[in-house]
């Protein structure tokens, strides 16, 4: 109880830092015009317009639009091009010289993907300023992304760019202080949600290189992020949820993904409106579940869908995700370590106790004995979710699984998930990008790390070898590293999703360099 009071006090003390007026989003700045642009598909990618920079004040642009839109021959696309600076994609214009090799390509990409500190941004831009340099993923992703950045940092460490690692950690600390949490990305339209909470792992990564005093330096932000995820927990009744917290039947507290808006995503406005129209549920519920899936980083996967298996059946907020809760356990342990560094034994023990209670709850609710796999927990129906995905490796990555559970997960990985190019994301071929046959660098890394942790080294090396070979082969053929890969048919590209396959690509680069540099790996 004392610790809960201290956490609440910390949260209250930090509130003045975040009690600012948030900048307006594109839809708020351009009512009517925004909907016209997005619903008429002026641009094939809905993100293009929300990333565009207005060339005049919104009132001026809206007045011109209202005056011109009824005129014969009015062209909305030409109007937007005349009144907005459309975004460019530097990384998309970059082409590597394959003959110079993969390592040279990776070294060059750190420069291509780097963006300078932005103390100020153009008036009415959706971009949020950041005080220090950072890396973007690449392609259409022109801003920093929360969970992507951890895997990019793995590569920066291998490239001996600790200056950029420190800069990016400082940027995330700045965002937490400024807004009370780390937004999905540094855009105004992302200020209603976060992403998988990897900040504590970023801090730990920097501490491994610069010493444990790093934990003390970022302790205020670690505590503030924890308060964000746990907001409303103290008064929550069993079997109920509020924001990002769920109190389960046994009284345990676990977390879910949540977005505070119940409107269509501005960057995918037309797609969300169509999904809601195809559903029999109230549109705000559909929008909130779509946004919650975006907060998970898995947008989209049958992991989040109802029995219909379609986007319109999405029910993300009904699920307690196993991966999210493993990350929050890691956050609790990092906070405990930060107190231990300060020789505050009582607080260190209190936070370790939180982590132990969360581990116990994860094992109770997310271990699915029928599947012999870790799945999400459907708290609304009080039963394990049926869909098996690579999120089930997180309890191995973070040391939460028992030895027997890790053995069973390893067997299922070998039997069901392992393909010629690495691990497929799920066992469902739905056409969604976070399902089979697609594979993603962060999930390969987490699976390899978890298997090594439980001494399943041969399988870890097999996954690593196949993934590195696939990445290398595609690079040699195209001069690119990609956002995601097809690991079943190695001659076909990955597909699905709301946008074309992107190249760049921050987290692919980071994981690949980490795997290439592992001395014990068979990928060398």
Active site residue 234: no
Mean confidence (pLDDT) of the chain: 94
Judged by DSSP in three states, 39 sits in helix
DSSP state of 433: T
Q: Which of 148, 461, 483, 498 is catalytic?
A: 483
Inter-helix orientation angle 506-516/457-478, to 10°: 120
The residue ranges of every structural domain in the chain are 388-524
Q: Which of 204, 299, 435, 461 is catalytic?
A: 299
- The pLDDT confidence band at residue 12, using thresholds 50, 70 and 90, is very low
For residue range 431-474, list pLDDT tens digits in order: 999 999 999 999 999 999 999 999 999 999 999 999 999 999 99
Residues 6+ apart with CB under 8 A from 280: none
Nearest residue to 269 (alpha-carbon basis) of 43, 53, 18 = 43
Considering only 78-92, 303-317, 393-407, which range has the smallest mean pLDDT? 78-92
Which tokens is 398 given? 């973070």
- The pLDDT confidence band at residue 519, using thresholds 50, 70 and 90, is confident
Nearest residue to 293 (alpha-carbon basis) of 281, 275, 305 = 305
Nearest residue to 184 (alpha-carbon basis) of 296, 273, 318 = 296
Nearest residue to 451 (alpha-carbon basis) of 473, 438, 467 = 467
% of the chain with per-residue pLDDT over 90: 92
For residue range 187-205, list pLDDT tens digits in order: 999 999 999 999 999 999 9
Considering only 88-97, 394-403, 453-462, 469-478, which range has the smallest mean pLDDT? 88-97
- The pLDDT confidence band at residue 93, using thresholds 50, 70 and 90, is low
Active site residue 323: no
DSSP state of 117: -
pTM, rounded to two decimals: 0.95
């Amino acid at each position: 109880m004392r610790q809960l009071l201290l956490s609440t006090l910390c949260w209250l003390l930090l509130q003045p830092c975040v009690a600012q007026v948030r900048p307006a989003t594109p839809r708020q700045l351009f009512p009517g015009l925004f909907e016209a642009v997005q619903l008429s598909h002026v641009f094939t990618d809905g993100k293009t317009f929300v990333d565009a920079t207005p060339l005049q004040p919104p009132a001026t642009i809206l007045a011109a639009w209202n005056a011109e839109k009824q005129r014969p021959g009015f062209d909305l696309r030409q109007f937007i091009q005349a009144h907005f600076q459309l975004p460019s994609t530097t990384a998309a214009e970059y082409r590597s010289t394959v003959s110079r090799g993969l390592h040279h390509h990776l070294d060059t990409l750190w420069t291509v993907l780097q963006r300078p500190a932005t103390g100020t941004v153009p008036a009415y831009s959706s971009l949020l300023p950041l005080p220090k340099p950072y890396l973007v993923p690449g392609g259409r992703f022109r801003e920093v992304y929360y969970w992507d950045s951890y895997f990019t940092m793995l590569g920066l460490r291998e490239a001996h760019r600790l200056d950029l690692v420190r800069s990016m950690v400082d940027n995330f600390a700045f965002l937490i202080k400024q807004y009370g949490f780390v937004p999905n990305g540094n855009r105004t339209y992302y200020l209603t949600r976060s992403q998988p909470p990897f900040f504590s792992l970023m801090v730990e990564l920097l501490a491994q290189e610069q010493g444990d005093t790093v934990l003390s330096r970022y302790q205020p932000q670690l505590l503030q992020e924890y308060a964000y995820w746990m907001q409303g927990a103290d008064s929550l009744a069993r079997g109920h949820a509020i924001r990002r917290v769920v109190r389960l039947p046994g009284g345990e507290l676990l977390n879910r993904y949540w977005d505070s808006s119940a409107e269509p995503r501005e960057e995918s406005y037309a797609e969300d409106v169509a999904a809601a129209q195809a559903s029999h549920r109230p549109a705000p519920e559909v929008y909130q579940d779509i946004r919650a899936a975006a907060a998970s980083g898995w947008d989209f996967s049958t992991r989040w869908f109802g029995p219909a298996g379609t986007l319109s059946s999405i029910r993300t907020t009904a699920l307690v995700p196993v991966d999210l809760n493993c990350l929050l356990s890691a956050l609790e342990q990092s906070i405990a370590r930060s107190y231990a560094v300060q020789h505050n034994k009582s607080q260190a023990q209190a936070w370790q106790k939180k982590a132990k209670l969360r581990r116990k709850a994860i094992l109770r609710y997310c271990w699915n004995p029928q599947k012999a796999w870790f799945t999400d927990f459907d708290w609304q129906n009080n039963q394990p979710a049926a869909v098996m995905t690579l999120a089930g490796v997180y309890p191995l990555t973070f040391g939460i699984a028992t030895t027997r559970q890790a053995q069973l997960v390893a067997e299922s990985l070998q039997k069901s998930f392992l393909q010629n190019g690495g691990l497929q994301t799920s066992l469902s071929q739905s056409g969604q990008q976070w399902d089979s046959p697609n594979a993603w660098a962060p999930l390969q890394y987490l699976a390899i790390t978890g298997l090594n942790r439980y001494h399943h080294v041969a399988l870890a090396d097999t996954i690593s070898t196949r993934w590195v070979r696939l990445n290398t082969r595609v690079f040699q053929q195209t001069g690119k590293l990609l956002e995601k890969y097809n690991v079943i048919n190695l001659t076909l590209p990955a597909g699905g999703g709301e946008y074309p396959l992107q190249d760049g690509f921050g987290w692919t680069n980071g994981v690949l360099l980490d795997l290439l540099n592992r001395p014990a790996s068979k990928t060398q």
